[in-house]
Structure 1
């Protein structure tokens, strides 16, 4: 009998992602998938700000309800984000991100078809639920597939995130104009863009080796055998560092969603045209494209990130002061200052990846810090909207934002200390 030995070839390499060639292709696919999904994590929110006045008029939305609308992202991230670790253990992080991205696409396509405020809010929440899952799991995917490049890869996908936010803010009004001035079409276009991010994650989910890595370097393997596992807050509530990260994340999120939801309106109330207001907001996001990468890469090489958190807080305070004193005098300067301050988001993500000892810890820390943080941030946009409507101006809301920025600065000092969780 002749026994034929099978010579490993390209098909065998495809089945064994541990081989160098397959591993390189998998990492390349992971980079593409990260960039595409990150690009689509903010258009659901940033596309609305430039056409918020038109949407409020068409839907009969009050200022307080509009403030609630800007709080919906934080609410979804807080409530849905806690489910991400359990879903990741059962199905694998990549598969869950793929499903979440598909939910984003469907929600954004259907949202413009809503005829009333309630349905508009519901479809916004549906899309944001998918974003919430991806928000929590992307730091885990980075820690899992790029354990030696946490800062660099976090900076890379933060660049894509800020680019998506900026493009959506700047392009929604022109897109609406291209469709005859209809704001609904300008919003719905971003659902098509989100759909483009789904296929790479489906392909990545089929490569299960990384998702089945040992617990010491990853989340527990998917499947019934993994069991329910520890909750997202397991061991986190006893860690001062975890609470500091949650507070920092929540305060920066509250400030970010005020900027996303209300900054264009601030400039419009100062007498600037809608297109210019959208461009000014786009500047705040566009600055994050180069700054996010540089800042995350720098933070990843430092043992302490407290100094960076303090510097970003000072930029935010200066931006609020400018808007309070003379919003129309130097709007581009105020936009730049707030754009720099918004880089606290990639800093928070980088610190989450650095504070966790391994991926199993990072998935719990990410879920705890983001869910708790977003829960803390929920009242901020709503309060700003209510104060704006009550006082008929932006000075009182800006004072509130400045006070919260001081608290964020203090939380950043504590979160940036050289401490490990888990």
Structure 2
């Protein structure tokens, strides 16, 4: 399947333009590519495997974009006890991911122009590896948060650049590749939630070891990007001059179009676009729900009398729902003129899950975990809409950075407020009511963001 998508994503692009696209990301010149290949035939063979390597890099990187968070959620009680944190301070800890994503994510487009998207993602995977390896042994809350921030910085820049890499390398398969990336992300998220507690017990019961082991997966994700950035140095990654792809007919997907590089064009005034703002708020509210879920849901079940290992599995069920749906939803979204109906269905599942969590958290735990897992698939939908609401690679990069950075800023208070409400009310009634209330505006702005228009057109007006 991966080979098929790679071939489809590159087969309709003219050879010379594909060369420029490849060279823009790898940082090699046409002469270097031909020389390395030993001739035209070998150069063509080299170009054939590079997109496959990009696809492998996308999948491995996506696997590492959430274990830093969900592994902590599964062991939050042990970490709180080990570091002497209060409930409010734990709420601050669960707010660190969106804060880092907002602060560091906005830097991603500039870094990508300076060093190239592949080099920045590679550096991001290195940062994740270092942060996950150091934080369990930092010895204090401040050190733990600082090391977490290092890992989250790597996650932040990769979050923003993944849609850019997908749009550049697979312009007529935005839905399929976004689905593949989102599916891998959900798999990494759910796996960390499910196996962290039992793996910690198997490794001797130390929460430090249980958290540090995820650094190994991040280290593996560095490898596919190394050939793409080797010898690149400080070269920039210019936008491809022109990549034309079919927008209709067999095999095409909605959201594909032309990716036109305009390196000398002034920056898009993204804040003039209502769709960009709607997408940013939608992204922020779905991120609020996701980080509250990842940070607190296992604790909600544990406080309701569910054993710790079962609570971890319930969180894993919530996360694993994104594995199949993260592949289906982007493909469906790219075939619809308006993504509003998908937004409403996901929101309704979220409201039903919160209602069940409020009324019978232990009795219907598995059902609520499934419903909230479906609701969390607003994330791959938001990523898909980023690729659909802009016509150009430059536009996608700016929209991705704006929507994610602004969205993560919006999401910062949510997990913190849940921790404060939990500590001061002594229960989960008020926090769950807050989660349900936030779902209503999420549905409203999601419908606005799903309208068939582009940010370039709105900004120009």
Equivalent in 109, 132, 141 of residue 108 of structure 1: 132
In structure 2, C-alpha distance between the alignment counterparts of 1:308 and 1:327, rounded to whole Å: 26
In structure 2, C-alpha distance between the alignment counterparts of 1:12 and 1:137, rounded to whole Å: 27
Equivalent in 288, 302, 307 of residue 322 of structure 2: 288
**Residue in 2 aligned with 1:156?**
180
Instruction: Verify: 1:405 aligned to 2:431, yes or no.
Output: no
In structure 2, C-alpha distance between the alignment counterparts of 1:17 and 1:134, rounded to whole Å: 33
**Residue in 2 aligned with 1:279?**
313
- 8 Å Cα contact 2:115/2:236 also seen in 1: no
Please report how far the alpha carbon of residue 259 of structure 1 lies from its aligned counterpart in structure 2 after TM superposition. 0.2
Give the alignment of 1:124-135 within 5 angstroms. 124-135=148-159
**Residue in 2 aligned with 1:270?**
304
Q: Secondary structure at the match of 2:270?
A: coil
TM-score, with normalisation over the residues of structure 1? 0.92
Q: In structure 2, do the counterparts of structure 1 residues 324 and 151 end up closer, same or farther at CA, with 3 Å as the change threshold?
A: same
Q: Secondary structure at the match of 1:408?
A: helix
- 8 Å Cα contact 1:175/1:185 also seen in 2: no
Instruction: Verify: 1:350 aligned to 2:384, yes or no.
Output: yes
Q: In structure 2, do the counterparts of structure 1 residues 61 and 238 end up closer, same or farther at CA, with 3 Å as the change threshold?
A: same
**Residue in 2 aligned with 1:388?**
422
Mind listing any 5+ residue stretches in structure 2 that lack a counterpart?
1-31, 243-258, 457-461
**Residue in 2 aligned with 1:252?**
286
Give the alignment of 1:20-419 within 5 angstroms. 20-206=44-230, 211-214=237-240, 217=259, 230=267, 234-419=268-453
Please report how far the alpha carbon of residue 171 of structure 1 lies from its aligned counterpart in structure 2 after TM superposition. 1.1
In structure 2, C-alpha distance between the alignment counterparts of 1:46 and 1:219, rounded to whole Å: 38
- 8 Å Cα contact 1:88/1:219 also seen in 2: no
- 8 Å Cα contact 2:183/2:324 also seen in 1: yes
In structure 2, C-alpha distance between the alignment counterparts of 1:158 and 1:124, rounded to whole Å: 22
Please report how far the alpha carbon of residue 211 of structure 1 lies from its aligned counterpart in structure 2 after TM superposition. 3.9
CA distances 1:359-395 after superposition (whole Å, capped 9, x unpaired): 1100000000000000000000000110011111111
Please report how far the alpha carbon of residue 212 of structure 1 lies from its aligned counterpart in structure 2 after TM superposition. 3.7
In structure 2, C-alpha distance between the alignment counterparts of 1:9 and 1:254, rounded to whole Å: 45
**In the comparison of the two structures, how many residue pairs are matched?**
407
**Residue in 2 aligned with 1:3?**
none
CA distances 1:326-374 after superposition (whole Å, capped 9, x unpaired): 1011100000000000000000000000111111100000000000000
CA distances 1:58-81 after superposition (whole Å, capped 9, x unpaired): 101111111111110100000101
- 8 Å Cα contact 1:317/1:402 also seen in 2: yes
In structure 2, C-alpha distance between the alignment counterparts of 1:372 and 1:16, rounded to whole Å: 46
- 8 Å Cα contact 2:298/2:315 also seen in 1: yes
Q: Secondary structure at the match of 1:309?
A: helix
**Residue in 2 aligned with 1:421?**
455
Q: Secondary structure at the match of 1:304?
A: coil
In structure 2, C-alpha distance between the alignment counterparts of 1:202 and 1:77, rounded to whole Å: 24
Q: Secondary structure at the match of 2:94?
A: helix
Q: Secondary structure at the match of 2:213?
A: helix
- 8 Å Cα contact 1:145/1:210 also seen in 2: no
In structure 2, C-alpha distance between the alignment counterparts of 1:94 and 1:210, rounded to whole Å: 11
- How big is the alpha-carbon RMSD for the aligned residues of Structure 1 and Structure 2? 2.3
In structure 2, C-alpha distance between the alignment counterparts of 1:45 and 1:14, rounded to whole Å: 45
In structure 2, C-alpha distance between the alignment counterparts of 1:220 and 1:95, rounded to whole Å: 21
Q: Secondary structure at the match of 1:132?
A: helix
Mind listing any 5+ residue stretches in structure 1 that lack a counterpart?
1-7
Q: In structure 2, do the counterparts of structure 1 residues 16 and 108 end up closer, same or farther at CA, with 3 Å as the change threshold?
A: farther
Greater shift after overlay, 115-124 or 12-21? 12-21
In structure 2, C-alpha distance between the alignment counterparts of 1:135 and 1:9, rounded to whole Å: 29
- 8 Å Cα contact 2:239/2:394 also seen in 1: no
Greater shift after overlay, 363-372 or 171-180? 171-180
**Residue in 1 aligned with 2:11?**
none
TM-score, with normalisation over the residues of structure 2? 0.84
- 8 Å Cα contact 2:36/2:43 also seen in 1: no
